[in-house]
């Protein structure tokens, strides 16, 4: 059993319910088992597998199954239990869960000593049409097969135009993978990017945009900045200039929308990860990941690294709360970097300081290392520095 500072165990076996088996939930699970191997852990998640969503754009090169880790495998590996269900997220329920120390899931009652809510953020659903895809579609089917299928259906047997809307990190990662996929397979299709901002990746320093936009030019990708997506019909995409409101349309066989993710419910937490209802915290109900916002200087960005740190911190604090001392640790994690991949051989990112921009192979290596660290965590090997 690994040593945890400020933790003198009070109980040998806690009953813990984790709602959400994403990055935060899995990081919490492995942390519990490191420090309390006998813990009785139930993971509630409607999916049958943990999805390594940060690899999703790579499904233009690898099968989608490579991004999935079945919960049944995690059950065997970690001795936990998976319940395929969705925890209802009404706010009124929080006080009741704290009072009853139980949740009702799919008609059954689950008793707990501690509950961790790590349900992530939902992807904004695009309107449904066969030639409009969003991130949800890529969670159900691999990119390569999906794009080929839709091009066959809507590519009109000639040179097709594919529109990607959203020049944030996710849109850019998909855009470059698609550009390389089309080239690799000799598919006759043009790519364009629609973005509401003046420059791509406008959440990062301008060096990012300069680098990425230069690579887009090299790959012959059309760029429409300051432009809002308005819709797509059988053959055309409908757009609006953000500044003037002028509407226009262009030929487009397919639209791929990466317009952001939004937490269905955002749970405010104190600095230790305990959920706040008004100005009172719930001692036994914690939250972590994209669905949480902490009252502390720690990073609340919607990133896997913040989700992992919050998940691990929630688990450590749950153990400490149950222990003899009851001293908890505040959430202080600052992001150490972020890398956006630009296809199989290129990337751009920052490391340590937001102005310290790295690109090309060094950036790609950093991304691989970060992903490898998470893959190790999934096998129970924790190489994160607390």
Ligand X SMILES: Cc1cc2nc3c(=O)[nH]c(=O)nc-3n(C[C@H](O)[C@H](O)[C@H](O)COP(=O)(O)OP(=O)(O)OC[C@H]3O[C@@H](n4cnc5c(N)ncnc54)[C@H](O)[C@@H]3O)c2cc1C
Q: Which residues bind ligand X (CB under 6 A)?
A: 19-25, 44-47, 53-54, 56-57, 86-87, 89, 118-120, 135, 170, 289-290, 302-305, 307
DSSP 167-187: -SHHHHHHHHHHHHHHHHTT-
- Produce one character per residue of 311-330: b if its CB has 16 or more CB atoms within 10 Å, e if not: bbbbbbbbbbbbbeeeebbb
In whole angstroms, how close is the CB of 362 to ligand X at the nearest point? 16
Cα–Cα nearest to 110, from 204, 226, 16: 16
291 and 25 Cβ atoms separated by less than 8 Å: no
Closer to ligand X by Cβ: residue 91 or 233 = 91
In whole angstroms, how close is the CB of 174 to ligand X at the nearest point? 7
Q: How many residues does the chain have?
A: 386
In whole angstroms, how close is the CB of 12 to ligand X at the nearest point? 27
260 and 272 Cβ atoms separated by less than 8 Å: no
Residue with CB nearest ligand X?
Answer: 22
In whole angstroms, how close is the CB of 218 to ligand X at the nearest point? 22
In whole angstroms, how close is the CB of 335 to ligand X at the nearest point? 8
Coil, strand or helix at 18: strand
116 and 25 Cβ atoms separated by less than 8 Å: yes
160 and 255 Cβ atoms separated by less than 8 Å: no
In whole angstroms, how close is the CB of 302 to ligand X at the nearest point? 5
């Amino acid at each position: 059993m690994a040593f945890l500072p400020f933790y003198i165990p009070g109980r040998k076996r806690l009953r813990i319910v984790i709602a959400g088996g994403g990055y935060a939930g899995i990081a919490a699970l492995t942390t519990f088992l490191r420090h309390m191997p006998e813990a009785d852990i139930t993971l509630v998640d409607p999916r049958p597998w943990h999805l390594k969503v940060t690899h999703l754009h790579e499904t233009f090169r690898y099968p989608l199954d490579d991004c999935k880790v079945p919960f049944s495998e995690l059950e065997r590996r970690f001795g936990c239990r998976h319940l395929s269900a969705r925890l209802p997220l009404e706010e009124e329920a929080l006080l009741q869960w704290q009072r009853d120390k139980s949740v009702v899931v799919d008609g059954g009652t689950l008793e707990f000593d501690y509950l961790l809510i790590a349900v992530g953020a939902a992807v904004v659903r695009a309107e449904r049409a066969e030639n409009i895809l969003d991130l949800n579609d890529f969670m159900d089917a691999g990119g390569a097969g999906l794009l080929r299928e839709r091009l066959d259906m809507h590519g009109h047997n000639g040179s097709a135009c594919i529109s990607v809307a959203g020049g944030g990190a996710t849109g850019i990662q998909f855009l470059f993978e698609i550009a390389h996929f089309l080239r690799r397979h000799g598919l006759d299709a043009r790519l364009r990017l629609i973005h509401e901002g003046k420059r791509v990746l406008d959440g990062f320093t301008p060096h990012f945009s300069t680098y990425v936009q230069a690579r887009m030019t090299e790959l012959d990708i059309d760029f429409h900045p300051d432009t809002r997506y308005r819709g797509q019909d059988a053959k055309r995409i409908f757009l609006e200039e953000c500044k003037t409101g002028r509407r226009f349309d262009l030929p487009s066989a397919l639209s791929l929308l990466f317009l952001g993710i939004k937490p269905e419910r955002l749970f405010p937490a104190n600095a230790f990860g305990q959920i706040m209802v008004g100005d009172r915290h719930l001692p036994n109900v914690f939250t972590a990941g994209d669905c949480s916002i902490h009252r502390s200087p720690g990073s609340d960005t919607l990133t896997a690294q913040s989700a992992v740190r919050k998940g691990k911190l929630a688990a450590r604090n749950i153990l400490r709360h149950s222990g003899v001392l009851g001293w908890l640790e505040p959430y202080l994690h600052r992001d150490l970097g972020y890398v956006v991949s630009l296809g199989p051989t290129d990337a751009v990112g920052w490391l340590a300081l937001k102005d310290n921009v790295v690109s090309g192979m060094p950036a790609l290596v950093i991304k691989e290392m970060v992903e490898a660290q998470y893959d190790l965590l999934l096998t129970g090997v924790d190489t994160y520095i607390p």
